[in-house]
Amino acid sequence: MPPPLPPKPLQPNRASLSFLFLFLLSLVVYVSLSPSRKTPSPSSSSSSSSRNAPADSFSAPHRLFLSLHPGANATIAAHLRALTLRPHLAGTPAAARTASYVISHLRAAGLRVALADYYPLLSYPASASLALLRPDGALVKPLPLAEPADLEAAAVPPYHAYSPSGSAVAPPVYVNYGREDDYSALDRLGVDVRGCVAVVRRGGGYRGAVVARAAARGVAAVLMFKAADHGGVPQDSVYASGRGGGDGDIEDARWASDAARVGRRVAFGGEERGWTGDAFKRSNVLFDEDRKLAKIQNVFGIIRGSEEPDRYIILGNHRDAWTFGAVDPNSGTAALLDVARRYGSLLRSGWRPRRTIILCSWDAEEFGMIGSTEWVEQNLGRLSSKAVVYLNVDCAVQGDGFFASATPQLDKLIVEVTKQIQDPDFEARTVYESWIVNNGGISKIERLSRADSDFSAFLHLAGVPSVDFYYGDAVSMFCLLRLTSTFLRHLLLIEVFPGYHTVFDSYKWMVEHGDPSFHRHVAIAEIWGLLGLRLADDLVLPFDYPSYSAQLHEHATALSALLDGGGSVQVQPINSSIDELTVAIREAVEESKKLQEVDTTEDFAALRRRAFNDRLMLAERGFLEAEGLKGRPCFRHLLYSPPEDSESKLSFFPGIADAISQARKYAGEEEQLGIQHEIWRVARAIQRAAAALRGELI
Ligand SMILES: *[C@@H]1O[C@H](CO)[C@@H](O)[C@H](O)[C@H]1NC(C)=O
Ligand SMILES: *[C@@H]1O[C@H](CO)[C@@H](O)[C@H](O)[C@H]1NC(C)=O
């Protein structure tokens, strides 16, 4: 069920009254927002001997990697403390200090360090203010936008990056989540939002999409606030909506220097303390943007492969944060440094990975995945032909409960690896066991149709099989399990972490609530590192394509159901192409069995394996279409890219999803043909993947 009973949209005047109520409530409940659930005491005797997995399922380096567990939590805590001493927004001196920190620790681990600097156009607030006015324009009082000062410590005030400068003196209108439904409800009530300040509750999809929808309705400005109405947090508690950037809008990243096209986008976050007047009719919103070129720095730690140095296993996490970033993203950075430390120990023991491993620390993710996107674009040709996999961790820990999303050929490996890692909260269990208990008996893995972290350029633009995972799923389980939309589900999961993009995303929060003994961080580092080792060292790549075929059948079923009675549209081409892919997959499985048995000394055995692995690697590229989705050349993955319509019912086949949304708006013959055209595009993409897997051109 979607969030329980959001307040109904009201007439402007009554909306303000309702706000007064919400603001007052916010003061009361703010303190209790952090999940107060006590962390089960972590295993105190978590030596490698207490692991559940049978020891003989590990190779020697993998055993060594896992044996470096004792004390890892303290090391990770120290990294997190150091990285989060100050807010470190991309492009600032504090951000440069975190880069130096990561560089020195990658070097200390014995990895070769490389850097990639860029100078994109970033967006900062020069000034921002909000005031309440009486109907005659007289000032009632200014309202603070920032969070409590004692915590704020030089953090940038809440703002929406790439908002153009401007001011609006206009009546506020509460538009609920700012979804199409909400505007329809307002229309029915006879409320005209044109020229008003839209007051939006966070949770209606990507920030950018919410603002674009408001702009399309002619509002003058958008004020965004956050209301927790799920995950056991008291209903209607209101707090700072924090900061946001070009999320879901990869264009910002790609054409950062052309960001003016964003249009009328004035969005703020602000805590609504002190909203006391009930007689006001107007609010005065003012925002002055400071948009400038700033240096950003991607940092890489490299371990050259011994036998296939030109095949890349890429692990990545961003380093820049809106504020202190203890959750987002430096829980991931601290885990990445622990992976580096352990790989360093393996290197000193004489191990070399078969394929090259690259650890990436990205910059300027918060402004629209700029660091990773620039780098992927710069190296697109080589990544397309040589990148085996991209393993992303953004917010490593934001609560309890393991969550994974991936392209389907990685499902099986994720299951295998999580079966080998001890659960951070229950000594007698593996991560896998707790995960399936939380998910009603299945290892539910989401797909990556979102564009909200650094996997986006790798998957959506370059077609590199990808994974994204974290701790923090369980908080919201009760209300979210039945939500079908991947986007909404993921978005709400992120949003249930109360400090998201606020100054409350601090080390203090992590120690008190997120991961008091840092064992969840350790679990993430171990899953990440072990995934990397398997992918770098396995003779035959651990890609399981039967999962892909099963997933595509599910997608085809869902699509058929959605289009049932959809006029003349035929889903059949997709079904035929899935059948073709399924046959290719069956043959590949047979071939893979034979290759595993081959005597490595046999002539050409290595060459044959390499050729086969390349086919496994390149099959995913088949799903790309060179010109990309309609009007969005950066989204080339026809199975998993975000649909333009963020309220779409389909979380896969984005081109089809958008064509269906179009057809809902204008039910003409041309729109039906549009859907059919997109179905053909997907069918051909699946055929390309089948051919790539067979190793044939056609
Ligand atoms: C690390 O784990 C041990 C054992 O659970 C615990 O006693 C210790 O306090 C933890 N260290 C940190 C920094 O949380
Ligand atoms: C396509 O295949 C799915 C299952 O793989 C099935 O549910 C659906 O009915 C099929 N549609 C058509 C038009 O054959």
**What domains sit in the chain, N to C, each tagged with a CATH number?**
70-120+295-537 (3.40.630.10), 126-245+254-289 (3.50.30.30), 545-694 (1.20.930.40)
Q: Average pLDDT of the chain?
A: 82
Residue nearest to atom 5 of ligand 2 (CA): 553
Q: Average pLDDT in the 280-296 region? A: 86
Closest-lying ligand to the alpha carbon of 683?
2
Residue nearest to atom 11 of ligand 2 (CA): 560
Tell me: the pLDDT tens digits for 248-276? Answer: 332 332 222 222 222 222 223 222 222 22
What is the model's pLDDT at position 224?
Answer: 85
Tell me: the pLDDT tens digits for 119-144? Answer: 999 999 999 888 888 888 889 888 87
Closest-lying ligand to the alpha carbon of 582?
2
Q: Which atom of ligand 2 is nearest to the CA of 557?
A: 7
Q: Average pLDDT in the 480-489 region? A: 47
Lowest mean pLDDT among 156-170, 184-198, 374-388: 156-170
Residue nearest to atom 5 of ligand 1 (CA): 44
Query: Is any atom of ligand 2 closer than 6 Å to the C-beta of 558?
Result: no
Tell me: the pLDDT tens digits for 424-448? Answer: 999 999 999 999 988 888 888 999 9
Taking the model in full, what pTM does it have?
0.85
3-state helix, strand, coil in the chain (%, to 5): 45, 15, 40
pLDDT at 658 over 80: yes
* Burial annotation 631-661 (CB, 10 A radius, 16+ → b, else e): ebebbbbbbbbbbbbbbbebbbbbbbbbbbb
Closest CA to 600 of 592, 589, 612, 609: 609
Q: How far is the CA of 555 from the centre of ligand 2 (A)?
A: 9
Specify whether the CB–CB gap between 327 and 510 falls below 8 A.
yes
Q: How far is the CA of 517 from the centre of ligand 1 (A)?
A: 5
Query: Is any atom of ligand 2 closer than 6 Å to the C-beta of 209?
Result: no
pLDDT band at 474 (very low <50, low <70, confident <90, very high): low
HEC letters along 166-179: EEEEECEEECCCCC
Tell me: the pLDDT tens digits for 624-655? Answer: 999 999 999 999 999 999 999 888 889 999 99
Tell me: the pLDDT tens digits for 217-259? Answer: 999 999 887 754 433 223 333 443 457 654 333 233 222 222 2
Catalytic residue numbers read: 365
Query: Is any atom of ligand 2 closer than 6 Å to the C-beta of 553?
Result: yes
Query: Is any atom of ligand 1 closer than 6 Å to the C-beta of 42?
Result: yes
What is the model's pLDDT at position 264?
Answer: 22
Q: Average pLDDT in the 492-501 region? A: 64
Highest mean pLDDT out of 172-181, 257-266, 313-322, 589-598: 313-322
pLDDT at 533 over 90: yes
Closest CA to 652 of 464, 473, 403, 460: 460
Query: Is any atom of ligand 1 closer than 6 Å to the C-beta of 73?
Result: yes
Tell me: the pLDDT tens digits for 399-423? Answer: 889 999 999 999 999 999 999 999 9
pLDDT at 339 over 60: yes
Tell me: the pLDDT tens digits for 36-62? Answer: 333 333 333 333 333 444 444 578 999
Lowest mean pLDDT among 162-171, 218-227, 424-433, 455-464: 218-227
Q: How far is the CA of 376 from the centre of ligand 2 (A)?
A: 36
What percentage of the chain has pLDDT greater than the value 90?
60
Tell me: the pLDDT tens digits for 70-121? Answer: 999 999 999 999 999 999 999 999 999 999 999 999 999 999 999 999 999 9
Query: Is any atom of ligand 2 closer than 6 Å to the C-beta of 556?
Result: yes
Closest-lying ligand to the alpha carbon of 562?
2
Q: Which atom of ligand 1 is nearest to the CA of 516?
A: 14
Specify whether the CB–CB gap between 494 and 396 falls below 8 A.
no
Question: Which residues lie below 8 Å from residue 657, measured CB to CB, with a gap of 6+?
Answer: 643, 645, 648, 649, 650, 651
What is the model's pLDDT at position 516?
Answer: 95
pLDDT at 284 over 90: no
